[in-house]
Each structure stands twice: as C-alpha cells, then as structure tokens.
Amino acid sequence: MLFHSSIRKELARTFGATLVVLVTVVMTMTLIRTLGEATRGVFNPADVLIIMGYTVLSDLPTILSLSLFIAVMTVLTRMYRDSEMVIWLGSGRGLTALLRPLLRFCWPIFVVIFVLAFVVLPWAFGRIEDLRDQYEKRGDIARIEAGQFQESASGDRVFFIEKDDNDKLAGTHVFMVTREPDKETITSAARGTVQTFDNDQFLVLENGQRLEKSAGNNALSLSTFVRYGARIGADNPSARSFTPPSTLTALELVSNPIPRNSAELAWRSGLFLAAVNLVLIGLAAAGANPRSGRTANMAFAFLIFVVYFNLLVLGKSWVETEKTTLSMYLLGLHGGAMALALLWLTARHNQWTLPRLWPKPKAMA
C-alpha cells in the first residue's frame, strides 16, 4: 500500500538521522569517560579507541530503542500536525491499522536489538574486562613511565626512572622503594638497564646506594655499590580470575540461576521487551496540540523513556537483591507496560472518553 510505504520511508529517514546523532553523542561522552579512566590507570591509554568502540557497541540496544521511539513519535506527530492523520481516520481506518506498517519497519531492528543484547553485549563486556585485566597484570617494565612514580605488579615496590631516549631498556636517575615484611629498602642509582638472566628479567643498577631499615628496630644500614641487580616482575599471562555476569552468555546465565545472573538476564531481556513496548507506547501517545507547541510531545516521549529505563535498572537491582523474582519482574514491568500501552491504544482507537465510560446521571425532571 502506498500510504504504508510512505510511512516506512519517513520512519527510516527519521530513525537514521536520530541514530547518527545519538551515536555521536554517546561516542563523545564515552571517549571523555574512557580518557579519564585511562589517566587514572584503569586502562592502557593505547587501548582508548578500542575500549570506546566496545562500550558504544554495548550501548547500542539502548540507543536503537531510543532512536526507534523518537522516530515513531516524530513521524506520527507530524502526521497529526499536517492533518494527514485526520484523512487516515476519516477513511474509516483507526490507529490500530498503523500497527502493520510500524511492525514491518521495526521487526528487523527488534532482531538486531535481540542479537546485541544476548550475543554481542556479553562479548563486548568480556573484551573490555580482558583489556582491563591485562593492563593490571602487566609487568614492571611495561609500567615504567619516564618521570612518574609507578607501583609494581605485586604492589610491594615503587620506582621512578628517567628513560634514555636512545635505549628503551635503559634509564637514568633510578629511584626504588621496596617493602618487605621485615624490612624496607630505598635504592637509588645513577643508571639502570634491563637484562635477562636464565629467562628472568633483572634491573641492573650502576653507581648507587641502598638504605635499609629493619622492622624490629630503628637502625639504618647504608651501603654503596658499583653494580647491583634486582629481579623485576614479568607480564602475567594468566586468565581473568573474576567473571562478572555481564560477560556470561545467556546459556550460562540460565544454567546457573543465582540472583546476580538472574538480574543480568532480566536486564538483557528488558532491553528487547522495552523496545517492543516503546513502539506501542509511541503509537498510543503520539498526537499534536497547537496550544502546547511542537516540543511538548517530544519532551513527554523523553520522559517516558527515562522512566522506563530507570525502572529497568531498578528491577535489575531488585532481582539481584532477591526482592522479586525474574518471572515476576518481567511480568510486572514489561507485561504491565504492554497491557497499559494496548489499553491506551484501544482507548484512542475507539475514541473512549471518561464521560462516555462513566456517563453522568440524568437530572430529575
């Protein structure tokens, strides 16, 4: 049908434009947040763009849902404002007849959101956790930054070095503090180089001194040296010891239904069900009122979206703390939202009003 085709084309244009804007905004905010985490030592600064890509990918279900909701509200509101909806309703077709072109346009997006929520999202979070874990387990040499105090991988050593521009494995003005259970040692040297002996890396210091303090007394021991070697930590290639629920597949969450896994499953299911419900809510809530201006409906739509997704976060917390079960949460929030949207749509389709539902009693003669 020509009318259905024109609606889908307009929805596609509006959805595409909205998606580009939202992705740009989210990428900018994610870049700023990731750069802040990189400066605090959470991520490797060289992995900022990779982590930003994974983060935006994990946010795509929410972005797609909001873009779809805005597109439906914008197109239908324009139809009301330009009196196209009057022609549609005057031809004997109601609002429910618009479900068919809307669902024909939306179902591929629903499939993408489902795949993102249940397949791509855990993979993206897993890659982010792997990069974070690898950076935390990097060896002492990888931690060295010229002119900065750095802590070793084991946490028992703090060192400072000025690197030599001509040799990446050498540096000058080396300062190192080592804490052991029974003593604390402060070592300084004019120069240091990294050398390998029997597959172990050592920091070989030249022309320096050691100040040693025992834990049992206040006596200090000072010694000088021409050449001194200290073993340094290497990269830890072991796998992650902690697996957060966000990195587990849907089958793993279902096979181990502990509260935190059920909460993660509720969140992923909610991303898909919320997208479906928001399309129904958008169809029921669309309209145009010349007295309230063009932005009133969009502000109302944004408010609905914020409230809905805040309820998703709240419901995830309730499932995790066992205040409710997964089935009760899905039925209560998403089932209730769908029932409310269908009731609202039915009322507008049949043009129900409160006086018609509850007519006033006739006056006594």
3-state secondary structure of 216: coil
Distance CA 21, CA 53 (A): 16
The stretch 117-145 carries a mean pLDDT of 75
Rg (CA), the chain: 31
| Structure confidence at residue 49 (pLDDT) | 86
State pLDDT tens for residues 13-26: 989 999 999 999 99
The three-class DSSP label of residue 176 is strand
Residue 274 pLDDT greater than 80, yes or no: yes
Residues 29-53 have a mean pLDDT of: 81
Contact 205, 171 (CB under 8 A): no
Calculate what percentage of the chain has a pLDDT beyond 90. 17
pTM: 0.74
Side-chain half-sphere of 88: how many Cα atoms within 13 Å? 18
Do the bridges between strand 167-179 and strand 157-164 make them parallel or antiparallel, or are there none, so unpaired? antiparallel
Higher confidence at residue 152 or residue 121?
121
User: What is d(CA 79, CA 73) in angstroms, rounded to the nearest whole number?
Assistant: 10
What is the model's pLDDT at position 267?
Answer: 92
Q: How many CA atoms lie within 13 A of 64 on its CB side?
A: 24
Indicate if the pLDDT at residue 182 is higher than 90: no
Residue 365's pLDDT is 46
Residue whose token pair is 């930003």: 52
In this prediction, residues 121-132 reach a mean pLDDT of 86
User: pLDDT band for position 273 (50/70/90)?
Assistant: very high
